[in-house]
Amino acid sequence: MISYIKGILAEVSTELIVVEAAQIGYNIRVPSSLLAGLPPIGSAVKIYTYLQVREDAMQLFGFLTRDDLDVFKLLLGVNGVGPKVALGVLSVLSPDDLRFAVLGGDAKSIARAPGLGMKTAQKVILELKDKLSLEDAFEKKAAHGAESGGALPTDAKGEAVMALTELGYPSSEALRAVRSVEGAEAMNVEELLKLALKKLALF
């Protein structure tokens, strides 16, 4: 019903912002991760929204990007995940982090979200693994890099996963192997690939 609201950022609190548009102030619930990306109060802002309609209330949920909103909607499609829990997931995981966690079977990372236990985290993985793809994550990063005029943000983990998928390994196994390498953050792509391939041999 409401695709987005464009107006002046009037108020900001921990879980809620107020955007004034056409002399109306809209209360919009947001993930805490969004707050760092907001402009100063009094600045123009565009928030992509989801309107929840219940018998006793209507509530707007907002995001800075359409990708965030799309992932939020996917989470709502998981049995047992409502708007509050979905917002909690996106407060602790970016859409790309969620893609990696789902495709890599990392229920522990997803379960960090408030109000979401391990059982529901596993359900998120089961129900979203065919709806989220590694390619989407890299396409979104490429698009963001092009829009900002910067280079595609990559790291050793991402490049290693891409290399493994190009070698024919399923993206979920490639993700799991790379994530299971201890000390991966300090390695270059070549070192990470060698160890990930050893992990894959054990799967």
Closest CA to 23 of 35, 40, 10: 10
Q: Can you give the pLDDT at residue 57?
A: 87
Pairwise pLDDT comparison (42 vs 172), residue with the higher score = 42
Q: How many CA atoms lie within 13 A of 61 on its CB side?
A: 23
Task: Give residue 22's region: left, alpha or beta (phi > 0; psi -120 to 50).
Answer: left
Tokens of 142: 């490429």
Write down the pTM of the prediction.
Answer: 0.72
What average pLDDT does the chain have?
A: 85
> How many beta carbons lie within 10 A of that of residue 196, not counting itself?
27
Closest CA to 90 of 37, 53, 42: 37
Q: Can you give the pLDDT at residue 149?
A: 43
Give pLDDT tens digits for 132-175: 766 565 555 545 544 444 433 457 888 888 888 777 787 778 88
Closest CA to 80 of 124, 111, 129, 49: 124
Domains along the chain?
A: 4-63 (2.40.50.140), 66-128 (1.10.150.20), 154-202 (1.10.8)
Q: Is the pLDDT of residue 69 over 90?
A: yes
Give pLDDT tens digits for 73-84: 999 999 989 999
> How many beta carbons lie within 10 A of that of residue 114, not counting itself?
12
> What is the average pLDDT across 174-199?
85
**Could you give the C-alpha distances from 31 to 46, 86, 203, in angstroms and in order?**
15, 9, 36
Q: Can you give the pLDDT at residue 153?
A: 40
**Could you give the C-alpha distances from 63 to 45, 71, 126, 179, 195, in angstroms and in order?**
11, 10, 25, 28, 38
Q: Which of 24-28, 133-137, 182-186 has the lowest mean pLDDT?
A: 133-137
* Crossing angle between the packed helical segments 95-103 and 83-92, to the nearest 10 degrees: 90
